[in-house]
C-alpha cells in the first residue's frame, strides 16, 4: 500500500502542471483562438517563478511572478494575432521559441540554486489517515488550485452569460460581432487568462515539483497540454481525466525503467509523447464525435468591420 500511495502521489504531482496549462488553453480555444505558445509561456513561468521565489523567499510571490510572466507572453501573442491579425499558428510557434530562449537568459544566474518547496497542506487527524490522508489532505496549494480552476471554468462556461458569449464567439465570431458582442475584447481577456494559467503551471515545476531551476525543465509539457484540450473534446470535466492519464503514463514509465525491464530508456521516456500522438490519431478518426466539438472559428483571424 505504501508503494501504491507513493505512485499515486507522484501521478498527481506530474499531472498538476498539465491540468493547469490545459485548463487555461481550453478557455482560449473556446473563444476561437489557437495559441501554440503554451510551452514558451510555461518555461517563462518556471524561470520567473523560481527567480521571484529565490529573491523573496516566498513561493507565493514566486507563483505570482510566474503568472505575470505568462500574462506578459500572452499579451505579446494577443497584440500580434488580435491587434495586427497575424497568423495564429506562426505566432504561437514563434512565442515558444522566444520563451525558451528568454527563459534561459533569465534563469542563467539561478541554475544550481535551491529553494524551499511549496508546503503541503496538513490537517490534524485527516492528513494522518491511512492511504487517503496524504492523497486528499496532504497536497500543496497548486494541486488544489488546479482542481478548483477546472470547476470554476466549467461553471463559467456553462452557468454564466459571459461564458455563453465566449462560446458563441468561438463558434461564430462574425455572428457574435453582428449581435454587438465585443469579440476582440473577449478574446484578449481569454488569451491573457490562458497565459496566466500557463505561467502558473510553469512555476509549479521549480516551486513544488523540483526545488531548483534548469533550462528547459518543462520538457514539452506545453505541447501535451495542447493535445489534452483536443483529447477532452474541449470539455472541462474530461480534461481532469486526460491530465491524470498522461501524468500516470509519465510516472509509470519511470517505474518501468527502475525495474530494469531491458527496454531502452530513450523509448520509455518517449512514452508520454507517443501516447499523445496515438490519442490525437484516434480522435481524428472519430471526427463525427470529438472533432465536431471543436469551436467552429478556432484559429480563424477576425477583423471587425469598420
Model pLDDT for residues 18-51, shown as the tens digit of each residue? 999 999 999 999 999 999 999 999 999 999 999 9
Which candidate, 37, 58, 96, places its Cα nearest to that of 50?
Answer: 58
Distant-in-sequence, close-in-space partners of 286: CB < 8 Å, separation ≥ 6: none
Local confidence band at 248 (pLDDT 50, 70, 90 cut-offs)? confident
Q: How far apart are CA 182 and CA 301, in angstroms?
A: 15
Phi then psi for residue 46, to 5 deg, are -65, -45
What is the number of other CB atoms lying within 10 angstroms of the CB of residue 210?
16
Which candidate, 108, 77, 106, places its Cα nearest to that of 93?
Answer: 77
Model pLDDT for residues 135-168, shown as the tens digit of each residue? 999 999 999 999 999 999 999 999 999 999 999 9
pLDDT score of 1: 65
Grid coordinates of 213:
531551476
Q: What percent of the chain has pLDDT over 90?
A: 65
Q: How far apart are CA 1 and CA 132, in angstroms?
A: 11
Whole-model pTM over 0.85: yes
Grid coordinates of 298:
478556432
Phi then psi for residue 219, to 5 deg, are 50, 45
For the chain, the average pLDDT equals 89
Grid coordinates of 171:
463558434
Beta bridge partners of 231: none
Beta bridge partners of 212: 114
Question: What SS3 class is residue 225?
Answer: helix
Q: How far is CA 217 from the centre of its chain?
A: 14
Grid coordinates of 199:
505561467
In this model, does residue 277 exceed pLDDT 60? yes
CA-CA-CA-CA torsion sign (74, 116, 2, 273): positive
pLDDT score of 260: 64
Bigger pLDDT: 70 vs 287: 70
Cα–Cα distances in angstroms (integers) from residue 29 to residues 33, 62, 138, 251, in the given order = 5, 27, 33, 28
For helices 88-107 and 38-56, angle between their N-to-C axes, nearest 10 degrees: 30
CA dihedral 203, 234, 135, 142 (to 10 degrees): 20
CA-CA-CA-CA torsion sign (190, 278, 10, 155): positive
pLDDT score of 304: 83
Contact predicate 111/213, CB 8 Å = yes
Amino acid at each position: 500500500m505504501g508503494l501504491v500511495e507513493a505512485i499515486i502521489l507522484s501521478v498527481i504531482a506530474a499531472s498538476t502542471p498539465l491540468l493547469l496549462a490545459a485548463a487555461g488553453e481550453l478557455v482560449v480555444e473556446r473563444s476561437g483562438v489557437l495559441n501554440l505558445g503554451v510551452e514558451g509561456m510555461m518555461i517563462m513561468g518556471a524561470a520567473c517563478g523560481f527567480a521571484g521565489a529565490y529573491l523573496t523567499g516566498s513561493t507565493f510571490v514566486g507563483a505570482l511572478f510566474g503568472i505575470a510572466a505568462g500574462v506578459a507572453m500572452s499579451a505579446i501573442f494577443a497584440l500580434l494575432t488580435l491587434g495586427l491579425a497575424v497568423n495564429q499558428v506562426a505566432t504561437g510557434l514563434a512565442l515558444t521559441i522566444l520563451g525558451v530562449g528568454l527563459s534561459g537568459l533569465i534563469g542563467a544566474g539561478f541554475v544550481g540554486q535551491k529553494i524551499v518547496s511549496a508546503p503541503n497542506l496538513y490537517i490534524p487527524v485527516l492528513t494522518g489517515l491511512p492511504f487517503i490522508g496524504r492523497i486528499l489532505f496532504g497536497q500543496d496549494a497548486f494541486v488544489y488550485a488546479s482542481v478548483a480552476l477546472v470547476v470554476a471554468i466549467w461553471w463559467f462556461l456553462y452557468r454564466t452569460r459571459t461564458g455563453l458569449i465566449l462560446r458563441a464567439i468561438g463558434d461564430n465570431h462574425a455572428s457574435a460581432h453582428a449581435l454587438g458582442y465585443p469579440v476582440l475584447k473577449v478574446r484578449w481577456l481569454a488569451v491573457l487568462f490562458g497565459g496566466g494559467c500557463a505561467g502558473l503551471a510553469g512555476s509549479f515545476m521549480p516551486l513544488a515539483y523540483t526545488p531548483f531551476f534548469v533550462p528547459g525543465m518543462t520538457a514539452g509539457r506545453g505541447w501535451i497540454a495542447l493535445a489534452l484540450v483536443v483529447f477532452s473534446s474541449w470539455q472541462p470535466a474530461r480534461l481532469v481525466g486526460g491530465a491524470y492519464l498522461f501524468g500516470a503514463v509519465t510516472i509509470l514509465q519511470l517505474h518501468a525503467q527502475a525495474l530494469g525491464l531491458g527496454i531502452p530508456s530513450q523509448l520509455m521516456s518517449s512514452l508520454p509523447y507517443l501516447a499523445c500522438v496515438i490519442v490525437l490519431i484516434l480522435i481524428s478518426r472519430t471526427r463525427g464525435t470529438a472533432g465536431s466539438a471543436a469551436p467552429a472559428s478556432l484559429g480563424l483571424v477576425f477583423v471587425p468591420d469598420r
